[in-house]
């Protein structure tokens, strides 16, 4: 349990995306559906590396339970993963 009295999630899922809106939608739908059936408390973090295909807007509109980080440039997979890990609970 964290200092603020809130239990941290059992699982943090990190997804890094770049111009893959269709695949990202399917991925998030599957993750949310599958983990929603479990007894695990979970969080999902998506880091969008400056996609130009509407990926970030799709996440915002279709998956409000997902935490979205939007980079202004493509920072690469490792840097984006580290961004999300730093914010995960």
User: What's the whole-number average pLDDT of the chain?
Assistant: 94
Give the C-alpha separation, 50 to 9, whole Å: 28
Sheet order of strands, 67-71 included: 11-17, 42-49, 67-71
Tokens of 65: 């339970």
pLDDT tens sequence across 25-64: 999 999 999 999 999 999 999 999 999 999 999 999 999 9
- Measure CA 60 to chain center: 11
SS3 19: coil
Question: What is the pTM for the complete model shown?
Answer: 0.90
SS3 18: coil
């Amino acid at each position: 349990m964290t200092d603020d009295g809130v239990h941290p999630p059992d699982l943090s899922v990190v997804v890094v995306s770049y111009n893959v809106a269709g695949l990202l939608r399917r991925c998030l739908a599957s993750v949310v559906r599958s983990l929603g059936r479990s007894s695990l408390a979970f969080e999902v973090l998506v880091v969008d590396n400056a996609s130009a295909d509407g990926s970030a807007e799709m996440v915002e509109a279709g998956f409000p339970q997902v935490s979205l980080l939007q980079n202004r440039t493509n920072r690469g997979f490792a840097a984006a993963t580290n961004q999300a890990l730093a914010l995960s609970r």
